[in-house]
Structures are given as C-alpha cells and as structure tokens.
Amino acid sequence: MTRHETFPLRLSTDKPIAIAILAMGGQGGGVLADWIVAAAEHSGWIAQSTSVPGVAQRTGATIYYIEILPVREGAEAILSLMPTPGDVDVVLAAEFMEAGRSILRGLVTPERTTLITSTHRSFAVGEKEKPGDGIGDPLTVVEAAGIAAKRIIAFDMQSLAETNGSVISATMFGALAGADVLPFDVSAYEAAISAGGKGVAPSLKAFHASYLRTREEPRDPVVPDGAKVLPVLPAATGHAALDALLVRIRAFPESAHAMLFAGVKKLVDYQDPAYANEYLDRMDEILRNDIAHGGAAKDHAFTQSAAKYLAVSMAYDDVIRVADLKTRASRFDRVKKEVGVKDDQLIYTTEYMHPRMEEVTGTMPASLGRFIESRPALFKALDKVVNRGRRVKTGTIGWFLTLYVLAAMKGMRRRALRHGREMAHLQHWLDTALTILPRDYDLAVEVLNSRRLVKGYSDTHARGQSKFDRVLAAAPMLIGKPDGAVWMQRLRQAALLDEDGTALDGAFKTIESIYA
C-alpha cells in the first residue's frame, strides 16, 4: 500500500474565518450561531460551532465559537473548538458590557477584528448588588473599542428587535450581513432564518431592518446616562385635591418646584393626597428654617435636598407597597412587553418572596404588633411559620387575590407599627439636620443627603438603615469643621461602596484620627 493510498486527503492549511458570539440567557446566542452555520453551509462552506456556557444567566455570558472554511477538494479541514486571543475575525456581543469583556479576553484585536455590538445595557449582578451606583461606565468600553477593534458596528439592536416584534439574535444577524465581513449573499442569511421554521416572518423583518441600519448608519454615539429629568409642574390636573397640592407647591421657591412635584406625585401614588399634604407641611417648616439661615444665597439647597429625600423616606417599602406594585395592571403589561408575549399566549410571573415575622408585625396595628414582639416565644413560633421562601404566581386567582387584599390595606398603614417607627426615625433625621443648620449650612445639607443610604425592603432596608444611623451619629463631631460637609459626603460614599461596611469602618477611623 502506497503512502497516497493510506492518506488520500491532506490537511487544509487555509485559515478559517473565526467568529465569537457573547450572549446571555434568553438572547438567542445559540440560534444566532446556528443561523451562521446554516448560512455558511448554504453557501457551500464547512462550518463548526461550539459553546462554553456562563455560570448563570447574568453572571457570565455564554461564548459561542464558530469557524467556517471554504470546501477545498482533496483537503480535510481541521477547525478549533475555542477562540484564541488575537485570532478572531468577528466578535458579536449581545450587550454593550459584553463587548468590553470580549476586549478584556483578548478576542478583539486592531489587526483583524470587526466588533459588532448592541449598545443597550442589561445590568449584571455585580452592578445591581452594589449599595450605591455600581453601573459600569460605557465610555470606558467606547475608548477601549476604539483602540482594540479594526472596525466597530454599534447601535441599539435590542430596541430595533423589539420594534420589529423579534429578538436581538435576528438584528445581530442582520448587522453581520450588513457588515460584509462574510463572503455570503444576503439570500444565504435569509435561507438560514427560513430553515428554522419558527417566528420566520418577524425574524426576517428584524433582520432586514438591522441590515439596512448597518448599511446606512453603522454606529451610534454612546453617552453615559444623564441626570434624571423631573416632571414639569402642570397648570392644573382637573382634580380639586391635586390642584390644591399644586397651589401649595407654587408657594415654594421655583428652584424646588420640580422636586416637590415629583415628591407629591410619589406620595399620592403611594398613599393619598392627604399624605402628600403631610409632606408639604413638613416642607413648609423646612423652608422657613432654610430662609432664616441664609438659604436664599445658596439657592435653597437645604430645601431642595429635603424635598427629594423626605418624599423617599415617607414612601418606604413595606408589605403593602410590595403587594400593590406586584398586582398593578401596568406591571403585567410591562412584563408581557419585555418577554414579547403574543395575543394568543398566556404568561405567569413567578415571584420569589421570603417574608420575615418583622414584616408581618410591622403591618399590624401598633398595639398588636408590639404585643407579639414583646413575647419572644410567640414571636419565634410564628416566625417559623412565616419565615420561609415562597414561589408566588401572581397570575393565579389565589395568589393575586392574596396580594390584592394586602395592597388594599393601604388605608390602615398610618396605624401600623412599621409606620410609627419609620416616622420616628424620619423625625430624628430631620431634627438632626435642623439643629445643625444654624451652625453649618453645608453640613446640614449633607445630613439630608445621607438619607440616600436607607432604601429597599427587608434585610436590604435593615442594612442600609444601620449604615445611615452610623453616618448620622458622626454629624455632631463635624459641626464647625472647615471640611465637615466634605467628610459627611465621604462617609456616605464609603457606606455605598460595599455591603458589609468595610469601607465605612475605614472612613470612621480616619475621621477619629483627625478629630479625636
């Protein structure tokens, strides 16, 4: 037997086109990979795809890797299973920060890589879990991509997909076709989508919209999220109680109108117009003190800060509020829109709830709640029944009615144990700020701003309030110090850096070393 007869084929030395896709669960990365393989095979090429899944839906993207190679007669193709840094021709990222991670992994190189990415954000667990603002800076990715990539195609492919009734995999496929980085005719892409057999019409519609978008305007400018736009104070609402609230707001300095209106809207939605009037009663006192201690020269900064954080404090999250939000028709509509539910489809939302006995007694009338809490044995026995995880389907009649009844207890909120405690805590905070105001205006403003630390529900609320109490306790030692307001701001920022308070401990030690 000759050598030629033993080895009739030689190994191909052609360089395959390497494509990497970074996508999270639900974004159709696998479908996109299958479409690319199908388009290649439809065009007579050899294709191979592999995938390495992430750890979880939003703690790690799945990397799909595809290599394609033209058929060469008499030569056997050998294709890799994993992308090699510096050797990838096309990177498709289904979310903007995933584009940044592909750069960090070395998959994007200036000599060869076309980076195709959607500019929308889907926040990672690491961003959401920060007590403060943990959102990654998109401009960092923009700057890195400008250096790392040979070519960039970047626009909001998620919104374009939703507009055309499809998912992001279809618009990414359209961007890939429009980029002309693969030697395939558009008909090959269309055939790949059609061969799937499901959702063909909306997928093709989204594909063509993205294809044209890539051809005409392949890149959108990426800017960080700007400041929140506050609602404009209307002339009237047509409702007597609400119009009376507008009249009261107009008596305040104009610089505070937008924030006061936002606060009133929040509290009317949270409770009722009478509760919003209580808010404005407190704000009247705050404004009088602000004016008496030079607030006009500082654009009433004390009043503006109080307008924001007093409203947030009064609209604390409790069992009633959670039940109210979860049973609103607008929430069901939003979920249906986000998931892409069609008219002939049903969707059930499963909520994970883990109530503690503290939340239960907090919702009770104050005397009953204190009665149970003052009896440890009874409290512990009831906690064993209550304190466990539950998966609640809010779309079913039983669970919906349960939450609906809880939400209907809004009228009893002012008599609840939790409300009394929240109002006492709130008043202590305001009294501290008002006491400091005559002696140190800027520090008093920062004391108001420190209320930002109190947020969330259950354990999250308890941790935030604990940090807030520690920061507030430092205020007296900072009165009159030339950098007192700056240190109060630093304490707040340190408290927002981590969950366990390590950074805050360090900031306190620094202050003690300076002022002890």
Average pLDDT over residues 78-91: 86
Question: Where does the pLDDT of residue 227 fall: very low under 50, low under 70, confident under 90, or very high at 90 and above?
Answer: low
Q: What is the pLDDT of residue 56?
A: 47
Is beta strand 350-353 parallel, antiparallel or unpaired with respect to 390-393?
A: antiparallel
User: What pLDDT band is residue 3 in, cutting at 50, 70 and 90?
Assistant: very low
Q: 159 pLDDT exceeds 50? A: yes
**Mean pLDDT in residue range 215-242:** 81
Task: Provide the percentage of residues in the chain whose pLDDT is more than 90.
Answer: 55
Higher pLDDT, 40 or 497: 40
In 3D, which of 191, 192, 181, 188 has the Cα closest to residue 43? 188
Interhelix angle 441-449/417-436, nearest 10 degrees: 160
SS3 45: strand
Distance CA 81, CA 83 (A): 7
pLDDT of residue 27: 76
Which pLDDT does position 58 carry in this prediction? 46
Which whole number is the average pLDDT over 187-197?
Answer: 90
Alpha-carbon gap, residue 306 to 39, rounded angstroms:
60
Residue 384 has pLDDT above 60, yes or no: yes
Residue from 116, 48, 117, 110 nearest 76 by CA = 48
Q: Which domains does the chain have, with CATH numbers?
A: 3-216 (3.40.920.10), 418-516 (no CATH)
Cα distance between residue 327 and residue 346, in whole Å: 17
Helix (H, G, I), strand (E, B) or coil at 52: strand
Provide the sign of the torsion angle of the four alpha carbons 496, 498, 501, 503, taken in this order.
negative
The confidence band for 219, taking pLDDT boundaries of 50, 70 and 90, is confident
Please tell me the predicted confidence (pLDDT) of residue 160.
Answer: 93
Is the pLDDT at 223 greater than 80? The verdict is: no
Compute φ and ψ for 389, nearest 5 degrees: -70, 145
The answer, yes or no, to whether residue 499 has pLDDT greater than 80, is no
| Residue 6 reports pLDDT greater than 60 | no
Residue type present at position 198: K
Q: What pLDDT was estimated at residue 131?
A: 63
For residue 135 the two structure tokens come to 């959102």
Token pair belonging to 442:
């800027």
Q: Are 362 and 318 in contact (CB under 8 A)?
A: yes
Half-sphere exposure of 108 (CA within 13 A, CB side): 26
Q: What is the DSSP string of 229-252?
A: PPPP--S--S-HHHHHHHHHHHTS
Mean pLDDT of 487-493: 91
- In this structure, the strands spanning 10-11 and 17-23 are unpaired
Specify the DSSP class assigned to residue 416.
Answer: B
In whole numbers, what is the pLDDT of the chain averaged over residues? 87
- Binned at pLDDT 50, 70 and 90, residue 205 comes out as very high
> 93 with 102: CB under 8 angstroms?
yes
Q: Which of 487, 415, 407, 481 is nearest to 447 (CA)?
A: 487
- What are the φ and ψ backbone dihedral angles of 76, each rounded to 5 degrees? -95, 130
Residue 2 above 50 pLDDT? Answer: no
Q: Which pLDDT score, from 0 to 100, does residue 363 have?
A: 93
Q: Is the pTM of this model over 0.75?
A: no
Residue 57 has pLDDT above 50, yes or no: no
| pLDDT category of residue 59 using cuts at 50, 70 and 90 | very low
- Lowest mean per-residue pLDDT among 162-166, 271-275, 297-301, 342-346: 342-346
With the C-alpha atoms ordered 319, 322, 326, 329, is the resulting torsion angle positive or negative? Answer: positive
Average pLDDT over residues 418-434: 96
Between CA 185 and CA 171 the distance in angstroms is 17
Q: What is the dihedral of CA 340, 342, 346, 350, to 10 degrees?
A: 10
Average pLDDT over residues 455-459: 80
Q: Is the dihedral of CA 393, 395, 397, 402 positive or negative?
A: positive
Position 359 pLDDT exceeds 80: yes
- pLDDT-wise least confident of 9-18, 310-319, 356-365: 9-18
Would you tell me how many other CB atoms lie within 10 Å of the CB of residue 460?
A: 14
